[in-house]
Structure 1
Amino acid sequence: MIAFKANAAVRAALSAIGRTEDLRFSPDNRLLAIAGYARKRLLVLRIDIEAGSDGPVVTLHDFMELTSDDMSEIHGLDFIDDRTLAIANRDGLVAIFSLPREEPAGQSLEISAIRRVKGRRLCKLNSPGSIAVKRESRGRVSLLVCNNYTHLVTRHVVNRWLGYRTTSNQRLLERGLDIPDGIALSHDGRWIAVSSHGTQDVKLYCMSASLGPGTEPAGVLQHAGYPHGVRFTSDDRHILVADAGSRMVHVYAGDGDWSGHGAPARSATVLDEETFLRGRASPEEGGPKGLDIDRSNSVVAVTCEEQTLAFFALSSIFGGVENCRQSGAIALA
């Protein structure tokens, strides 16, 4: 674990945020946003990550705590750009916010959404959880939303040139999913990874024009426990999965083609036993939930209610796996 630098005010804000879900680095790597699910607020941290002689050095300079009538049980979030954020409220809808212009300086602010996304007809949002942003052409942005309790991923296209007005809604993924609880896109745009809580695995779908609710997953990452946060490394050769039912983050190794079935190449402990047991209300809880890799591909951030924020060097999570290629970890169907 990286012992990050932070002043007393930042540490107090982290302690006060309550139950967390997802977290996300901004594209410029200067901000880290954490979903404050229980207290219905967003915590935004000003962060620096630098290379040190003994590994990455993480400094949290300051924070801002944001509330809104359009923020409720925040489960998922993703940046559209450095200052624009899409938030998925488990008990409501998706809202798009422009972050305050000022730098985080220990303030609490109330803000308003610049757009709310509800979906339409057979594609209405229902229990939205994790969310992934996909940038398209001509000012369009796709919001891929896990609808937890309808076992469905929906796609909502908004146009930034039209003030993020929704221009289309689509039922995107359904086959094989049982409580989709996390979602990530590969950097080459070829793959969508979705954590499936009920089936205790991660489904991988190949991106194509024919993608739809009946599309079978092309790959399955098995033995994932109760998977939540999921992330591709920058070269798309590894996938990290946070297991909410254990103390672990699982590492899957591949060659960029995620077809077939795979087991973890390594599982790294990210919670001590005492912390884990404090949150162990059921076999599905206690472990890490939110997970992200910073834009330099050197630091992994994880969060859960009992450990609001922890950082790890990506190399320590790998533990040598990065040099193993497949090493038997991915068994192609």
Structure 2
Amino acid sequence: MLRQIDFEASDAVQTALASVGRTEDLRFSPDNRLLAIAGYGRRRCLILRIEIKRGPDGARITIPNFIELASESMGEVHGIDFIDDRTFVVANRDGLVVVFGLPPEEPAGQSREIVPLRRIKGGRRCKLRSPGSVTVSHDSWGRVSLLVCNNYTHVVTRHVASRWLGYRTIRNRPLLKHGLDIPDGVALSHDGEWIAVSSHGTRDVKIYRMSASLGPDTEPAGVLQHANYPHGLRFTADDQHILVADAGSPMLHVYDRGTGWDGYHAPRSIAVLDDATFLRGRANPEEGGPKGLDIDRSNSIVAVTCEEKILSFFSLQSIIGRSTSQPQYDLTRP
């Protein structure tokens, strides 16, 4: 099993982590000062104040405080991403996609009820249904695009929202559908040329090339194979690797770009959960493993979450350098 990076946290932070319940996605803020965790089980978001310092002996991570956010517009919070340092968006699998602003004060161990800046329903021909993961990209003229995995309608939709109109959407359309069966995670490459989508039902990750003609009938250009039930995923900053959390195993998979993302790719894999932790959460073959995954904005720290191990940190370099050619865990038994 990969060695974790230990983190320092107050008793209050440890209590908040222990009580958050079932988690799904997690995300670092653009300034790298906050880490947001989707609290699916308790219908709230946990925002951690995080400090990452680097020294000759490696990274030192401290979590001095937190704020727990709840809202009538938060349900089964599955996906989460930041629009900017003070604005974030959540995807409620039992509801809508909602944009929130963070409270003005610094996290100080409190719980707060907040109201949304905007509820996003989609358009007349592009309704949101069972939204799961969400990722944000920035367009021109103060617009942001929200790419949303609609889990049980098997489609990724794109919603263009205007900051100047209070994040009202001005365009909603289906974006990806071909080859997807319960899209469960979505990520954009940093060069803007690729979209990666976890496909739970087909047990792989589909890679689509960005183009003006991209649409629901577009076939994937590449496929990342041999992930049992892929969930959270991220491109590394140089777009040479994709990391995939596997909810159906204790593994994190690393896929190398090689000469390009076209075609089929097999992973190098490494365990990020010990057997006892994994088996404790294995209520069925689709559960027990890591779900949320993110890489911090310095491209050096990987954060992972799941219900049985709410938060773990790893060195990105240790993952890329030490992963093995294939998973070694027996996945034939529930």
Report the Cα offset of residue 256 of structure 1. 7.1
Q: CA RMSD, aligned part only?
A: 1.3
Aligned partners of 1:226 and 1:99: how far apart in 2? Answer: 32
> Does the CA contact (< 8 Å) of 2:175 and 2:216 recur in 1?
yes
Counterpart position of 2:300: 298
Contact 2:8 2:61 in 1 (8 A): yes
Matching residue within 103, 108, 122 for 1:105: 108
> Is the CA contact (8 Å cut-off) linking 1:146 and 1:182 kept in structure 2?
yes
When normalised by structure 1's length, the TM-score is 0.95
SS at match of 1:319: helix
Counterpart for residue 168 of structure 2: 165
2:318 to 307, 316, 319: 316
Query: Alignment partner of 1:276: what SS?
Result: helix
Q: CA deviation at 1:181?
A: 0.2
- Which of 2, 7, 10 matches 2:10? 7
Structure 1 position 250, deviation (Å): 0.2
Contact conserved, 2:23 with 2:306, CA < 8 A, in 1?
yes
Gaps spanning 5+ residues in structure 1: where? 325-333
Q: Is the 8 A contact 2:270 2:322 kept in 1?
A: no
Partner of 2:67: 64
Q: Map Cα deviations across residues 241-262 of structure 1 (whole Å, 9 max, x no partner).
A: 0000000000001147311110
Superposed, 1:1-333 pairs within 5 Å as: 1-255=4-258, 257-264=260-267, 266-320=268-322
Task: Name the aligned partner's letter for residue 80 of structure 2.
Answer: L
Give the percent of matched residue pairs that are identical in Structure 1 and Structure 2. 70
Post-superposition CA distance 1:210-253 (Å, at most 9, x none): 00000000010000110000100000000000000000000001
TM-score for both structures, normalised by structure 2: 0.95
- Given that 1:24 and 1:33 are in contact with CA atoms closer than 8 Å, whether structure 2 keeps it comes out as yes
CA distance in 2, matches of 1:49, 1:101: 22
What secondary structure does 2:122 align onto? Answer: coil
Shift of 1:317: 1.1
Shift of 1:57: 1.2
Letter in 2 for 1:93: L
Letter in 2 for 1:132: T
- Tell me which stretches of 4 or more aligned residues in structure 1 moved more than 6 Å: none
Q: Give the number of aligned pairs.
A: 322
Secondary structure, in 3 states, of the residue corresponding to 2:15?
Answer: helix
Aligned AA for 1:245?
Answer: G
Question: Partner residue of 1:330?
Answer: none
AA matched with 1:292: D
Q: 2:175 aligns to what SS in structure 1?
A: strand
